[in-house]
Amino acid sequence: RFGFGTRSSTTKPKNEENPSNREDNEAAARSDEGAERDLQLEMERQRKKPSRIQMLRDGYEGLVRAVVRPPRAQYSPQGELGPRRLRLDGGQVICRTDFTLMNKENLKLQCSLWAPVAEGGVKPKTERLSWKSDSQSALVSRRKSGMDEDDDTMQSVTSSVVVYLHGNSSCRIDAIRTGVLETISPMGTSLVSFDFAGSGLSDGEYVTLGWHEQHDVHVVIDYLVGRGYKKIALWGRSMGAVAALLCMHTYKDAHVTAAVLDSPFASFPRLVDDLIRRGAIRVPRIAVRTVLSLVRGSVRKRTGADIYKLEPIKGVPECTVPALFITADKDEMIPLSHGENLDELWGGNSARISFHGGHNTPRPPHIYDAVNTFLRATLSDDDDVTEDGMSQTLEKIKDKCRKAPLEMPPGWQSAVDPDSGDTYYYDSYTHKTTWFRPYRPSPGYERATAARQNRKYLEQQERSNVRASRHGSKSLPPKAGRKGDGGTPMRRASPTITEEEEEVPETANKRFSART
């Protein structure tokens, strides 16, 4: 009636499919949808994938930022600078004062001074030593001091001070985290550490590997001289050591009497060439001059520094103060030859000591001992120290470093790599390895020692419980009373062991019986 054929029991209608064919069609449709989705994702990745020109731009920008903007250290001055008042084992009191200086570019430099003071020179109720100023921190420039001259919160009992200069990715906290403060404090000498412009909490966006930092060092020296310090020693590491070299050559300040230079480079163009030769910087040798010329222009445009002229080795022959150079025999950033050349061309008495490690390896104890001996000789109040006497002191320092203890710290073992033939070191507790010689006990050893002490404490507690169980409800033998209470010992009720409490192990009873 409606144009449809009659339905037969043996034939299927045209619009009805076989179930197996329907499943195949659905699977094919899902497959097509998945292929289309994958195609869309691939097209999206291709659109987001940077071109070769963009990759070159990103690589070049990374190279420039590695020079002028490495990772910036961030910290909290309230917690990480330590307490404001310290008392050494010998009774000497050291107070920390934070202050702010203005450099020649009108950028604020955040500084800290740790100074030994007389016992009566600090008010006991003072929690925060600060300048008497309207603002929270005093701003000092080379032309005018905004501090009250009658303020005695930073009057030190010594006339010598050590200025610590940090590296390009660090800050003044290095004086706390490393052994610098521990080395300087027993000498009775003040210590100053500050953030270079562009580092830490100081103002500025870029660092210049010593080009502008040398002027920051001079601002700090000028301020310390105005505060009455007569002998100043510079202790720089990496970029800080280069800044110290440039500052001594540029300003020739007579108050600088010594320099500790840890891992400085002799010439920046030479350093880049060494890193390319080592493979640390992947630039074709045929394009080295072109790349350096481009980087030079970008750095000069952003910071005003000319890295081609960053060659502290040229001014080294004119430096005559005693110097102690520190180098790492496996420094992956600054080759050992840079420190050797600087030591050879130094205009005054100098010595170079080395240790087994890399550029960022924690310095071993004998290095800090050598620095302590060197600074004691150069900052002493004895003005009769001759060049011969200083030469003998430097020879003793080098001999002492050569005879540094060779035994391994607890928990470490050494082995030889069969492939390279080099010696490596591993923690016998955790089996972690390192290529650098350790100078401190291994973490596994320290954890095992702590666990041993904990077990010892538990055994003592167990013996105390056994003793209490032997006495029962009786009181333990009384302890002597405090002085001034008439001589009557203060009695204390002993804890009694009840049935509900845990029973004492049988082994403890046997041990107690054998001992008694």
Greater pLDDT, 120 or 123: 120
3-state secondary structure 71-115: CCCCCCHHHHCCCCEEECCCCCEEEEEEEEEECCCCCEEEEEEEE
Does 133 have pLDDT greater than 90?
A: no
Please count the residues of the chain: 516
What contacts 461, CB < 8 A, 6 or more positions away? none
pLDDT band, residue 304 (cuts 50/70/90): very high
Q: What distance, in Å, lies between the first and last C-alpha atoms of the chain?
A: 118
pLDDT band, residue 320 (cuts 50/70/90): very high
**What b/e string do you get for 411-443 counting C-beta neighbours within 10 Å, with b at 16 or more?**
bbeeeeeeeeeeeebbbeeeeeeeebbbbebbe
- Can you give the pLDDT at residue 5? 47
Does 491 have pLDDT greater than 70?
A: no
pLDDT band, residue 317 (cuts 50/70/90): very high
- Can you give the pLDDT at residue 166? 96
pLDDT band, residue 490 (cuts 50/70/90): very low
What average pLDDT score do residues 247-260 get?
Answer: 94
Does 479 have pLDDT greater than 90?
A: no
Least confident of 140-154, 249-263, 288-302, 406-420: 140-154
Alpha-carbon gap, residue 160 to 329, rounded angstroms? 32
pLDDT tens readout for residues 355-365 = 888 898 888 88
CB 466 within 8 A of CB 507: no
Per-range mean pLDDT, top range of 138-142, 161-165, 269-273, 436-440: 161-165
- Can you give the pLDDT at residue 66? 84
pLDDT tens readout for residues 139-175 = 333 333 333 333 444 455 578 999 999 999 999 999 9
Could you please report the per-residue DSSP string of 180-212?
Answer: HHHHHGGGT-EEEEEPPTTSTTSS-S---TTTT
Does 98 have pLDDT greater than 90?
A: yes
Greater pLDDT, 24 or 490: 24
- Can you give the pLDDT at residue 349? 94
Mean pLDDT of the chain, nearest integer: 78
pLDDT band, residue 413 (cuts 50/70/90): confident
CATH number of 409-460: 2.20.70.10
3-state secondary structure 158-188: CCEEEEEECCCCCCCCHHHHCCHHHHHHHHC
Does 268 have pLDDT greater than 60?
A: yes
pTM over 0.85: no
- Can you give the pLDDT at residue 124? 35
Q: Where are the domains of the chain?
A: 77-118+156-403, 409-460
- Can you give the pLDDT at residue 31? 67
Does 275 have pLDDT greater than 60?
A: yes
Residue 468 neighbours by CB distance under 10 Å:
17
pLDDT tens readout for residues 360-383 = 888 888 999 999 999 999 998 776
Of 204, 194, 196, the C-alpha closest to 106 is 204
DSSP β-ladder status, 323-328 and 256-262: parallel
pLDDT tens readout for residues 172-230 = 999 988 889 989 988 889 999 999 999 999 999 999 999 999 999 999 999 999 999 99
CATH architecture under which domain 77-118+156-403 falls:
3-Layer(aba) Sandwich (3.40)
pLDDT band, residue 283 (cuts 50/70/90): low
